[in-house]
Amino acid sequence: MAKQPIITVKNLVKKYGDFTAVNDISFEVYEGEIFGLLGPNGAGKTTTLEIIETLRDKTSGEIIVDGFSIDKDAGSIKKRIGVQLQAAGYYPNLNLSELIDLFSGLYGVKVTALAMLEKVSLTDKAKAKYKELSGGQKQRFSIATTLINNPRIVFLDEPTTGLDPQARRNLWDLIREIRDNGTTVVITTHYMDEAEILCDRVAFVDGGNIIGINTPDNFIDELVATGFEREKQVKKANLEDVFINKTGKALREE
């Protein structure tokens, strides 16, 4: 079946004064995939995401999200996407359940707070405040808030930064589940192991340019075909394998 683009970015440019942060990039995200934007600090990933999310103005270019043009119909795009809020948006006196109720009210949709928390395995924290959560729980809660309006696409900006190996794996499972339930996922990450395992396709961004888009497998095969060979790994496991082996796969956040 032909892949259907759900996001089309054409010749996107973003300048901050004289500085060009995004330099005429074009790419498509296909419906139902996990698409990764990878690149060093300052490459332009967050700027690109926030323009697609309608949170930042572009300098020029064209963006279509789920059939809607960002120039003509940003409101329809907002309704169809899920975006992680900055932690500052989580009113400190409300518990998780109350926060979900508040957000669903703002979106004008009816959801059951416990059902949303169930999706991210946080029902036992329904009465807890955001600040009382561990790093992994905070990320899971933040992902739950992106799902409230039953979006067609969710955007996750470095969702696993700072998490321990168990929480990271748990979040990968959650992100795959979101994709398998029919929601397209756009993610940024600095972890290449994560992108290789999780993303269906990735784009490398550097200095405001896209320097390649492909599946992780094809990228690796292309490099190997040039004669590249990684230094031989003499050991069959690494320290992370030891960590997981000794501490188990279960989440340690209670």
User: Could you list the residues that contact ligand ATP (CB under 6 A)?
Assistant: 16, 21, 39, 41-47
Quick one: 54 or 149, whose CB is closer to ligand ATP?
54
DSSP state of 130: G
| DSSP track, 77-123 | HHHHEEEPPPGGGS-TTSBHHHHHHHHHHHHT----HHHHHHHTT-G
Q: Which two tokens stand for residue 159?
A: 């969702």
Task: State the nearest-atom distance from the C-beta of 159 to ligand ATP, in Å.
Answer: 13
> Which of 16, 243 has the CB closer to ligand ATP?
16
Of 207, 183, 205, 203, which is closest to residue 195 (Cα–Cα)?
A: 203
Burial profile 169-189: b = 16 or more Cβ within 10 angstroms, e = fewer:
bbbbebbeebbeeebbbbbbb
Closer by beta carbon to ligand ATP, 59 or else 238: 59
217/94 Cα distance (integer angstroms): 44
**CB of 41: closest distance to ligand ATP in angstroms?**
3
Residue 77 Cβ vs ligand ATP, minimum distance, rounded to whole Å: 19
| Residue (82 or 208) nearer to ligand ATP, CB | 208
Closest approach of ligand ATP to the CB of residue 220, in Å: 22
Nearer to ligand ATP, 47 or 97 (CB): 47
Considering the complex, what minimum distance in angstroms separates the CB of residue 24 from ligand ATP? 15
- Which tokens hold the place of 91? 């009113």
Mention every residue, 6+ apart, whose C-beta is less than 8 A from residue 238.
Answer: none
